[in-house]
Amino acid sequence: MISVEQLTAPVAEHGEGPVWCDRWPGLRWVDMLAGDVLELDSGTGEVRRFPVGTVAAALRPRAETGVVLALERGFALADDEFERITPLPELWSDPGIRMNDGGCDPQGRFHCGSMAYAETPGAGALYRLNLDGSVDVELTDVTISNGLAWSPDGTTAYYADTPTHRVDAFDYSPESGLSHRRTAIRVPAEHGSPDGLTVDAEGAVWVALWGGSAVHRYSPDGNLLDIVHLPVSQVTACTFGGPTRTDLYITTSRQGIDPATQPAAGALFRASPGVTGRPTLPYRGAI
């Protein structure tokens, strides 16, 4: 049994996208629909809140200094303290579509996927912010774009379109990007729906399960290896962090949850699963 501790009060309405960067005071994650980045100071336990827009979908550190963000309808750049936020051109005008989740590839490009607020099937897409600031569309016909992480050797990417109840794998190369999509993991409906995910140093895939009260660890060929149980149902994302990357941080949501039934929903949790994560891949763009 992997033990879990609750690190914060239920500070997020919809916590998502945890990220660890050694130059930050501690873990950062988003309260997505509040438009805020949250930060847990590892030394003091204080939670700081940085407003960045109407939606704070995802963030990653830049290679040297600063942050790249996915906002409601596109990308933005910011300094490490979010005192200066520079939005890049919006990618669409439809107010019913927003960014949702993403991550950086081994070459330092930032990928993030979209979805309809109404969860309309096929209304979303997966976008890639290139190093020169240009943007490419990588996938279309996406419903709820979630999770994007790479294998330790950088040749495989893992991705979830949540309603499919699958985590898909892609071959990846710097030249051709994502190709040869296939099913890597099937999540039975009774276990919840795949949300955010991360990959550990051994190549296993950790998947947060929305509606499943858990994070599952899978082998690359889809075998269930371990389970982290949570006291809340809407588990949204996970990442490794801490000085030795042996802490698994887990975000949760309290959207639509009666706090009397799940008082910890919206809190940040931490587990010590006995394996090591990999360093966060930064955005290496020169813009």
Which residues are identified as catalytic? 195
For residues 211 and 234, the answer to whether their CB atoms sit within 8 Å is yes
Nearest C-alpha neighbor of 26 from the set 224, 243, 237, 250: 243
Q: In terms of C-beta distances under 8 Å and separation of at least 24 residues, what long-range contacts does 28-37 make, across chains too?
A: 28/59, 29/237, 29/249, 29/251, 29/268, 30/56, 30/57, 30/58, 30/59, 31/56, 32/56, 32/57, 32/100, 37/69, 37/82
* DSSP letter (8 states) at residue 255: T
C-alpha 170/C-alpha 159 separation (Å) is 8
Write the DSSP symbol of residue 189.
Answer: G
Spatial contact of 225 and 204, defined as CB atoms under 8 Å apart: yes
The rounded distance, in Å, linking the Cα atoms of 18 and 54 is 19
3-state DSSP assignment of residue 190 = helix
